[in-house]
Amino acid sequence: MRYLPLTGQDRELMLARIGVSSVDALFADVPADALMPAAPDLPRHRGEMEVERILGRMAARNVPAGSVPFFVGAGAYKHHVPASVDHLIQRSEFLTSYTPYQPEIAQGTLQYLFEFQTQVAALTGMEVANASMYDGSTGTAEAVLMAHRVTKRRRAVLSGGLHAHYAETVRTMSEMSGDEVVSLPPDVRAVEDLAAAIDGRTSCVVVQTPDVFGNLRDLRPLAEAAHRNGALLIAVVTEAISFGLLESPGAMGADIVVAEGQSIGNALSFGGPYVGLFATRAKYVRQMPGRLCGETVDGDGRRGFVLTLSTREQHIRRDKATSNICTNSGLCCLAFTIHMTLLGEKGLGRLARVNHAAAVQLADLLAGVPGVEVLNTTFFNEFTIRLPRPAAAVVETLADGGILAGVPVSRLLPGQGLDDLLLVASTEVNTDADRAALADGLRDVLSR
């Protein structure tokens, strides 16, 4: 077999050398509920052309985001990415780049990572930023671990407005290290009292703005409450375009800012790869995960770039590392940097205002549909609506009609009694006709 060259005898020899009786024994430490009970229902042992045909038919069942009116968000957003971004990142010197293991000779890579860090620090209102993380969710978990190191405490408080996937990632990593995580109930209207959950054992409070339900959060009171108790405030942003319009988390007192950078320069791509933004105060820089590129001059006084801090486990002893994450999403953060450079500060601001205006227009349209209630008083480009019936069924019906209406909250938070809530996002790619189609489609479905 071209792709499965090992025979049964080969496998037996390998297992004997390792000292286990079966392949299953290699996965003994994986929790049983995380293992598939059986092999996936896929055709076995087909030729290349047959595999291409089968996968092509499967892929054709998807509805591409750009082919229909699209209002899906909840942490991953459809934005226009200029063709120049893809053109530049596909140059051979960029497309094959990865971690510069001999950083001093990779000046081009170090320079764009330095520019990326500068952009992220400016967007978040922080003093230092690293050369990216995997994505926003794993970056959030790393921020919690960093807060534990800084405060010497092991208790994290998570807002009920934090994206469910981000919260689950934090809990997963915390479980492995025996840390305590306090997750507040879902907070649809941003009325929770996070400050009351902070005590002398708390290392950090994690809050998202705009939150998963679209509400904007003023972080100042929470930052003050956290700091009074010796805890850090971790601010999470899943929609990077919002940095162009909203006050930065750093200006509101955040100690660590984590964001998903997918919205800038990176397509939806069926869920990845994405790019995690991570920034903090300069005094915490040595506890920051990942790596940091710096600017300097060489012996002849010429401008140059260096890998200033590198505390990942692939660079130093594992027990000394701040993170086990061994990539920096290099190509994705290059796309982010190119797109941000093309936009500039004023361009990002204009794009953010267009996004907000599009969402306001959609919210006004949907509020006029009988049975629909818009729950938010403030939002950026995403908001929550309440429907008179389960949102998941409505979304499926609209999808059959060629409209991707949003994300049912029950998909993120099953069993929480929120089945009638729907998250709706409207960005610059939506037209007036798209928004009218959603309003008309909802009106038709809800009248049946």
Q: Do domains 69-79+345-447 and 83-340 have the same CATH topology?
A: no
* CA dist., res. 34 & res. 247, Å (int): 40
Per-residue pLDDT reduced to its tens digit, 204-233: 999 999 999 999 999 999 999 999 999 999
Q: Answer yes or no: is pLDDT of 134 > 60.
A: yes
At 259, the amino acid letter reads A
Question: Alpha-carbon dihedral of residues 93, 99, 100, 102, nearest 10 degrees?
Answer: -140
Closest among 306, 327, 299 to 315, alpha carbons compared = 327
Q: Tell me the fold of 69-79+345-447.
A: Aspartate Aminotransferase, domain 1 (3.90.1150)
> Model confidence at 108, in pLDDT bands (50, 70, 90)?
confident
Side-chain-facing half-sphere of 191: CA atoms under 13 Å: 5
Residue 412: helix, strand or coil by DSSP?
helix
| pLDDT for the residue numbered 115 | 97
Per-residue pLDDT reduced to its tens digit, 67-98: 999 999 999 999 999 999 999 999 888 876 56
Residue 64: helix, strand or coil by DSSP?
coil
From the candidate CATH numbers 3.20.20.60, 2.60.40.10, 3.20.19.10, 3.40.640.10, the one assigned to the domain spanning 83-340:
3.40.640.10
- Spatial contact of 417 and 409, defined as CB atoms under 8 Å apart: no
Q: DSSP letters of 303-334?
A: EEEEEEEE-BTTTS-GGG-SB------HHHHH
- Any alpha helices (H) in 125-260, and if so which ranges? 136-151, 164-177, 220-228
Per-residue pLDDT reduced to its tens digit, 27-58: 999 998 999 888 888 777 788 899 899 899 99
Per-residue pLDDT reduced to its tens digit, 411-441: 999 999 999 999 999 999 999 999 999 999 9
Long-range contacts made by residues 13-21, C-beta under 8 angstroms, separation at least 24?
Answer: none
Residue 275: helix, strand or coil by DSSP?
coil
- The domain locations on the chain are 69-79+345-447, 83-340
Return the number of other C-beta atoms located less than 10 Å from residue 253's C-beta.
17
At 249, the amino acid letter reads P
